[in-house]
Amino acid sequence: MTATVQLFVTCLVNSLYPDVGKATVTLLERAGYEVEFPLDQTCCGQPAFNGGFKNEAIEQAKQTLDVLDATVGPIVVPSGSCAAMIIHHSPDLMAGDPVSAAKAKRVAARTRELTQFLVEDSGVDVSSRDCDGCLTTYHASCHGLRWMDVLDQPKKLLDDAAIDRVSLEGEDECCGFGGLFSVKMPEVSTAMMDTKINKIEASGAAVVVGVDVSCLMHIGGGLRRRSSSVTTKHIAEVLVEGLP
């Protein structure tokens, strides 16, 4: 019997980067799972939570928990920060409500970030995805790195796939996105982004790879405004499509 995984695709992927969702499905199927996608999923509530809109965040988190708790099997999220929201912040938000808190705890225990799941829980064949002259570098998104310990897993997957990768100076430094921060404090946010982009360009890589489309959207938006030749890609896309 084939094991089932639930895909929580995230609202950004749903609307802006559906190809990342499709690549995630491919990877999970290649890893031998039957993928289910609960259609009523929306947003985990992270933007509201980080912005200080606690009531809104609670409502969104509850919606997410209701949808996910009605399913079985591991819940896989192609985003370190949305996974961190479900695992760490949702249970805190539900603290005042025992029923929801129990739900949050159950869902948190089942939730995994995509690369974590692929490397630590399942294993997937990503060999021969290489292409000549395509050099990547990895940006470690903050929430994945510091709340989820995601750093070595994506690198291992890139290496397993024989994709050339150079190290990025300050790979663990924030790109300046930070959700609402990017529009509330655009001067600081873009200054941080410029530092990040300068280092990316200095690395000589053609593609920046990450596990969070939010940061990639930010970095990518800056690269594009600069008319840089460097592009951004989510790791799922890189592993499925190869490069470029």
Residues 6+ apart with CB under 8 A from 54: 48, 93
Tokens of 154: 């994506």
Residue type, 154: P
Q: Measured from the CB atom, is 179 or 242 closer to another protein? A: 179
Residue type, 181: F
Measured in degrees and rounded to the nearest 5, phi and psi for residue 25 equal -60, -45
CA 163/CA 186 separation, integer angstroms: 34
Interacting residue with another protein among 73, 102, 135, 147 (CB under 8 A): 147
Instruction: Annotate each residue in 20-49 with x if it binds another protein (CB under 8 A) or - if it does not, as one string.
Output: -xx--------------x-xxxxx-x-xxx
**Shortest CB 13 distance to another protein, Å:** 6
- Give how far Cα 71 sits from Cα of 41, 107, 110, 179, Å: 12, 9, 10, 29
Instruction: Annotate each residue in 176-215 with x if it binds another protein (CB under 8 A) or - if it does not, as one string.
Output: xxxxxxxxxxxxxxxxxx-x--------------------
Footprint (CB under 8 A) of another protein, residues 74-93: 92
Task: Give the residue ranges of DSSP H helices in 70-206.
Answer: 80-84, 90-93, 98-110, 114-116, 142-148, 152-160, 181-184, 186-203
Interacting residue with another protein among 17, 33, 117, 138 (CB under 8 A): 17
CA 49/CA 56 separation, integer angstroms: 8
- Examine residue 131 and tell whether it contacts another protein (CB under 8 A): no
- Examine residue 119 and tell whether it contacts another protein (CB under 8 A): no
**Residues contributing to the site for another protein (CB under 8 A):** 9, 11, 13-19, 21-22, 37, 39-43, 45, 47-54, 56-57, 59-60, 62-63, 67, 92, 142-143, 145-147, 172-174, 176-193, 195, 217-218, 220-222, 224-225
